[in-house]
Amino acid sequence: MEWSRFHRHKWDQATTFAWKNFSSAPVRRMFSFVTVLGRAALPEDKLKELTELTQEMKSSYSAAKICRYDPTRRRLDNGDYDYNADNDLDNDIGCIPTLSLEPHLVQLMATSRDPEELRYVWRAWRDAAGRPLRGKYTRFVELSNEAARLNGFEDAGDFWRSDYETDDFEDIIDGLWAELRPLYEQLHAYVRRKLIEKYGDTIVPPRGPIPAHLLGNMWAQTWTHILDLTVPYPGRPSVDVTNTLRRQGYSPFDMFRLSESFFISLGLEPMPSTFWQKSLLIKPTDRDVICHASAWDFCNGIDYRIKQCTQITMEDMITAHHEMGHIQYDLQYRNQPFIFRDGANPAFHEAVGDVLALSAATPSHLQEINLLANVDESFENDINFLFSMALDKIAFLPFGYLVDKWRWEVFSGEISESQYNSRWWDLRVNYQGVSAPLLRDEDDFDPGAKFHIPANVPYVRYFVSFIVQFQFHAELCKAAGHSGPLHRCNIYRSAEAGRLLRNVLSLGKSRPWPEALSVLTSGRTNQLEAGPILEYFEPLMSWLESQNKDEFIGWQENEAIVLGVVSSNASVRPFSAVIAALKSPSRRASLLSSTFGLRVTDFETSPVLWLRSDSSKAVQKDGMCLREPWNVLRNPTDFRAQKPHTEFT
């Protein structure tokens, strides 16, 4: 509040200048940023409401817990869980929800291979985290739009997209996705076949979308945790070093030191001493904290921190690099004027740590730091490595795109409140080719079960980051004198690569991002390009195509399998959309007719059945540097100082 008054005061002052006529371009640029007020443009009561609403959604999400899976409960005659039983809450009787997303559910989704258990966890999380937020989100959308319009934007989505300073941003990312979709479809088809080998074609449809609970991740956003089920050439040294990290007794602290050493090897900045004193790297046991990893710039040139409930896994080791990349960027632009202390665009901020991790995760680097035994550079080992990278970098792309596609449409009103969930699933099916493993309806709010929705963090930055980080990788590799295939490049210890990266990062937001790209590429391009990521994965693309010769590429929505949902005695709440409920058209038709009283012909004409119900850094980032820096300083509980290292022994 105090901050927004201050911000508005600055804004009042700034707007009195005829700044558009100033001769100095950097100063004009400063004014163009300062004169956007954001949510502080709202009248005070609404500003308060919006701030509290976001806070409530975020803490509600972060506090969500579910019950342990109990295979003895609530089953139908056919052995299925009775998800649609009236007595939904029975599941909570005699059970205190104790499992939290981090670490329990993350780990369950990653390691369980029991489809019933996975489906239970998948559903319970959405019941606990998503559903309760629906009403709040509706109001949140209204207020966000109001704030955006007061700033002269069409709606909040328009406001968010303005971060990218280009008029045709949506066309650009649409074009990038079109270039990458063929690779995604090949990966999807291959993984689907492997899942059929594991779970059978009554659970995974050979020509349909993949059920979203089987991909090793709560949101099916990255698929690295099903590497064991899908690895191209089994019986070779695994490129997942989780076990080695544990065997070698790595602590969270060690993982961050490891990450730091990569930055230092490039001649970049070490973490300042306050970082090691004040970061929170282990989940505390005495209080609830927001476990979702984050990196913080306290904007005083001294205080930089990471908060991460670190587990000893390869995934968290990569995340450590990711978060430290944010801090490195913060450090690189700390001498810029206050208003330019930000990423060239939000995707650049997301890319820095990942760029280093592209090198750090190569088998040759993992050998160099003793996490992997000798791996020869055979074709099979290369494919295994590229495949594991694709489960991360390629699998993520459609999700990275659709989260904001959904929000943009919500903000613009194209998706109305009564369609929140069904339109979410339209996008999930169309872009990712995944389907809900059980009936969803408009009481559900599945988008809300993903952190960035309640926390109101824009998401398309990650989509763009996953593409631009390969542009960075290619250019830094060139600077490092790498020759040979791009996926084998490791820029460790390259002062030249470090210098180039520093040149780009130290600009902060002082120049429009195309100019930063120009610096990166020595003038070759100033555009986002899919070329480098496609080049990186080219050997895998060829391999997948040869493996998928007999596969159906893509997915048909009407082939989706939703198991254990429609039962003759199920009481079905009002819902707005069902995608083909059972696999066999005849069984489906008879069940639908017995359950819903629909005639079979309703179904035959359209295999996709739509039943309409009648009833039916951003905030945080700005919070630190631009909006409410004192807020956090007033509440230091999240960051209680921790004694480095001793906690780990």
Binding mask 441-470 for ligand D0W (x = CB under 6 A): ---------------------x--------
Is 188 labeled as catalytic in the residue annotation? no
Q: How many residues does the chain have?
A: 649
Torsion angle, CA of 359/361/365/366, rounded to 10 degrees?
A: 170
SS3 473: helix
**Residue of 321, 452, 473, 487 marked active site:** 452
| From 29, 321, 349, 478, residue interacting with ligand D0W (rule: CB under 6 A) | 349
> Between residues 69 and 348, which has the closer beta carbon with respect to Zn ion?
348
Q: 296 contacts which partner out of Zn ion, ligand D0W, none, CB within 5 to 8 A by kind?
A: ligand D0W
Tell whether residue 322 is among the known ligand binding residues: yes
Stretch that binds ligand D0W, among 77-85, 318-326, 483-491, 524-532 (CB under 6 A): 318-326
Rule CB under 6 A: which of 135-164 touch ligand D0W?
none
| From 192, 322, 365, 405, residue interacting with ligand D0W (rule: CB under 6 A) | 322
Least CB distance to ligand D0W at residue 173 (A)? 15
> Between residues 118 and 455, which has the closer beta carbon with respect to ligand D0W?
455
Number of residues forming the site for ligand D0W (CB under 6 A): 19
> Between residues 322 and 588, which has the closer beta carbon with respect to ligand D0W?
322
> Between residues 80 and 350, which has the closer beta carbon with respect to Zn ion?
350
Tell whether residue 350 is among the known ligand binding residues: yes
Angle subtended at Cα 242 by Cα 236 and Cα 243, rounded to the nearest 5 degrees: 75
Stretch that binds Zn ion, among 76-84, 347-355, 396-404, 496-504 (CB under 5 A): 347-355
Q: Measure the CA–CA gap between 203 and 214, rounded to whole angstroms.
A: 10
Binding status of residue 294 toward ligand D0W by CB under 6 A: yes
Question: Prior bond to 103 cis, omega within 30?
Answer: yes
b (16+ CB within 10 A) / e for 53-82: bbeebbebbbebbbbebeeeebebeeebbb
CB 399 within 8 A of CB 432: yes
> Between residues 405 and 617, which has the closer beta carbon with respect to ligand D0W?
617
Q: 294 contacts which partner out of Zn ion, ligand D0W, none, CB within 5 to 8 A by kind?
A: ligand D0W
| DSSP assignment letter at 421 | H
> Between residues 357 and 566, which has the closer beta carbon with respect to ligand D0W?
357
> Between residues 315 and 368, which has the closer beta carbon with respect to ligand D0W?
315
Q: 617 contacts which partner out of Zn ion, ligand D0W, none, CB within 5 to 8 A by kind?
A: ligand D0W
Tell whether residue 493 is among the known ligand binding residues: no
Task: Give me the DSSP letters along 119-156.
Answer: HHHHHHHIIIIIGGGHHHHHHHHHHHHHHHHHTT-SSH
Q: What is the CA radius of gyration of the chain?
A: 25
CB 473 within 8 A of CB 486: yes
Tell whether residue 515 is among the known ligand binding residues: no
Binding status of residue 359 toward ligand D0W by CB under 6 A: no
- CA separation, residue 553 to residues 206, 274, 387, 549, 561 (Å): 10, 51, 18, 9, 17
Task: Give me the DSSP letters along 238-270.
Answer: -S--HHHHHHTT--HHHHHHHHHHHHHHTT-PP
| From 350, 382, 446, 622, residue interacting with Zn ion (rule: CB under 5 A) | 350
Rule CB under 6 A: which of 619-638 touch ligand D0W?
620-621, 624
Q: Measure the CA–CA gap between 270 and 294, rounded to whole angstroms.
A: 18
Is 142 labeled as catalytic in the residue annotation? no
Which of 612, 583, 586, 578 has the alpha carbon at shortest distance from 84?
A: 578
Tell whether residue 7 is among the known ligand binding residues: no
Least CB distance to ligand D0W at residue 27 (A)? 25
Binding status of residue 279 toward ligand D0W by CB under 6 A: no
Where would I find the beta strands (DSSP E) of 4-108? 65-66, 99-100
| From 280, 281, 293, 479, residue interacting with ligand D0W (rule: CB under 6 A) | 293
Binding status of residue 397 toward ligand D0W by CB under 6 A: no
SS3 570: coil
Stretch that binds Zn ion, among 280-288, 345-353, 469-477, 532-540 (CB under 5 A): 345-353
Q: Which residues contact 168 (CB under 8 A, 6 or more apart)?
A: none
Least CB distance to Zn ion at residue 326 (A)? 6
Binding status of residue 224 toward ligand D0W by CB under 6 A: no
Which of 187, 252, 255, 186 has the alpha carbon at shortest distance from 226?
A: 187
Which residues make up each annotated binding site? Answer: 164, 322, 326, 350, 461
Residues that bind ligand D0W (CB under 6 A): 221-222, 292-296, 319, 322-323, 326, 349-350, 396, 462, 617, 620-621, 624
Catalytic residue positions? 323, 452
